[in-house]
Chains A and B, each alone.
Chain A
Amino acid sequence: MKVKMWGVRGSIPAPGPSTVRYGGNTTCIEVRSDDDSLIILDAGTGIFPLAQTLLTRLPITASIFITHTHWDHIQGLPFFVPLYIPGNMVRIHGAYDLVSMQGIEQVMNVQMQYSYFPIREAELRAGVEYETLTVGEPVAVGDATVTPVLLNHPVPNLGYRVACNGRSMFFTGDHEPWANIYPPDDPEHANYQAMIDHRYTELYAALGELDLLICDAAYTLAEYPPKIGWGHGTFDHAIKFAQRIGAKRLMCTHHEPTRSDDELERVFAEAMSRHPEPGCEVMLGREGLEILL
């Protein structure tokens, strides 16, 4: 299995001279299974350069898994060029949206309203299929399986565990560790904490052993307090998460759009200094980074 990063930025693309090394595109990860089946995790702007590389190998079959429908994870979808070429097959998977009470089939339709985009969904020429996923139920893609796991973000966010011939990786999408909403002296505190603990037990059981964890690590410890509840974690959260599940490698992603490359390396080094023995290889997500599992 091969993993390649095409977008590692959170919230909004951040092109420019200060982000050249890590890249300015929003979230997109290409995963190739052992039989070369194409799995794409999220369709942020990074999916556009990925699409360019596919045009020499048409027709293609692509299975896109959307973690959640915030713009930085779907914005590149209408620019996924294979959608406009007959003969290609694109399967789009994602969560059921609670507030609109609709499945993932709305993801293109919402973006391709004529006032906002010049091409209508009906004009796509590839075969397009939508599958609204059930949490915990694996989807087979070639010789790999992709299992959705419900995490914590302001909209339902599915993390995806991809497994192929004994190797496995997990991408959180956007995720903030669960926190107790009751202060310690509140009578509800203990009960709520027990529910959170149960939630973690379920999560760890669902993930099992991992060769690679790609985790939302948007903030530093100092930045986090005023952003509690925004649905993102810190470098320290990600490191502890990797340690707890015994992941062999951890990649931190969802970099803040205002963070320059130098600043990113500085805050990463600072976080690592608090964890001198993280117990796994820890790296920063970077556009173009490829990992063979």
Chain B
Amino acid sequence: MAQLTLELERKLTTAVERMPAFPKSVQVILEMTRDINCLPRNLVGVIEKDPVMTIKILRVINSAYYGLPNKITSVGQSVVYLGINTIKNLALSFAAVGILPRFNTTGFDIQRYLLHSLSVASIARLLCEKFARAEADPGDCYIAGLLHDFGKVVFAQFMVGEFMKALAITVDSGKPLYAAEIEVIGADHAFVGALLAKKWKFAEPLVNCIRDHHAPDAEPSAMLDCLRMADAICRKLAFGDAGNPWREEELTALPVRFGNDIEATITALGDLEKIINDAQAFAQIGTER
């Protein structure tokens, strides 16, 4: 994979600069910013639902020029450092790139992907608040959920032929998507997502979570546990779709902290309807699952 790494890094880092954001956030940002007095908290609320915008902002704020002693892990924190107007103008510049098309030639549904990412983000935060409050930051768990599958959008946008093949292998053989990606591309979305996150100097725990979210044997952390569990819950309940359907055999590999009764964990979380409705509204998906 080492040789592929250099090639991939070169190709993908430049590609992500040109990557458009999700339709809803572009639309809302353009609308909101026509009003010079738009509320900062509403602006943050939109940006932090869009994985592309979030990544672009974290990438800028964590760049070496700002010499920040601690890594910035949330959009809100970026606003404290850069000011709301800078963030507003950054968001506008991201919006100006255009919007991600719902489907590209790979057939990967970007809006169902967004629904998956938003659901995993919110549920990871909820899991942290309920079960791991003392060990991890719920906001960090949210970002880990939002960005964990970012590598897939990169593949869908910039390695179209290869990703299409990998998706087809998963559909035909039932093989996990990450295994199919390794087979076709030589690296999976977790590896590529983490590669980019590391290059952009994201916080190490976040990089590790992205890298290890399909690795049950990875060194456990509260954040990774919450992310992996949230991913499992969303896939089991089919909240959105990121090309990797739930397989019952995954039950045995769930984080030990939550036991192996996924239904009990889901019940303990309480009513997830609001989380899912919000995510659906933003992903612009009706009531379909």
Contacts and interface: CB of A to CB of B under 8 A. Distances in A.
Interface of A: 95-96, 98-99, 132-137, 150, 152-156, 176, 178, 181-182, 186, 188, 191-192, 195-196, 199, 202, 229, 231
A150 B61 CA distance: 12
B41 interface: yes
B103 interface: no
A188 B76 contact: yes
A156 to B, nearest CB: 6
A98 B84 contact: no
Interface string B127-171: 000000000000100000000000000000000000000000000
A223 to B, nearest CB: 16
Contacts of A99: 86, 89-90, 93
A119 B140 CA distance: 51
Contacts of B76: 181, 188, 191-192, 195
B80 A132 contact: no
B67 interface: yes
A202 B63 CA distance: 18
Interface of B: 37, 39-41, 44, 60, 63-69, 76-77, 79-86, 89-90, 93, 139
A37 to B, nearest CB: 24
Contacts of A154: 83, 85-86, 89
Contact of A134 (B64, B77, B81, B85): B64
Main secondary structure of the interface of B (DSSP, over half): helix
Contacts of A156: 82, 86
B93 A178 contact: no
A95 B41 contact: no
Nearest to B137: A191
A-B interface, 9 closest residue pairs, ranked by CB to CB distance from nearest: A154-B85, A181-B40, A96-B65, A135-B67, A136-B67, A134-B67, A195-B80, A152-B83, A181-B41
A104 to B, nearest CB: 10
A155 to B, nearest CB: 6
B65 A133 contact: yes
A229 B65 contact: no
A96 B63 contact: yes
B65 A134 contact: yes
20 contacts: A96-B63, A96-B65, A96-B66, A98-B82, A98-B90, A99-B86, A134-B64, A134-B66, A134-B67, A135-B68, A152-B83, A154-B85, A154-B86, A181-B40, A181-B44, A181-B76, A188-B41, A192-B80, A195-B80, A231-B85
Contacts, number: 69
Nearest to B42: A181
A191 B138 CA distance: 11
A188 to B, nearest CB: 7
A103 to B, nearest CB: 8
B64 A155 contact: no
Given A134-B66, A134-B67, 11 more contacts: A98-B60, A132-B65, A135-B66, A150-B66, A150-B81, A156-B86, A192-B80, A195-B76, A196-B80, A199-B81, A229-B85
Query: Which of B44, B65, B68, B79 counts the most A-chain CB atoms under 10 A from its CB?
Result: B65
A222 B160 CA distance: 58
A229 B40 contact: yes
Contacts of A181: 39-41, 44, 76, 79, 84
A229 B86 CA distance: 11
A110 to B, nearest CB: 16
A95 B65 contact: yes
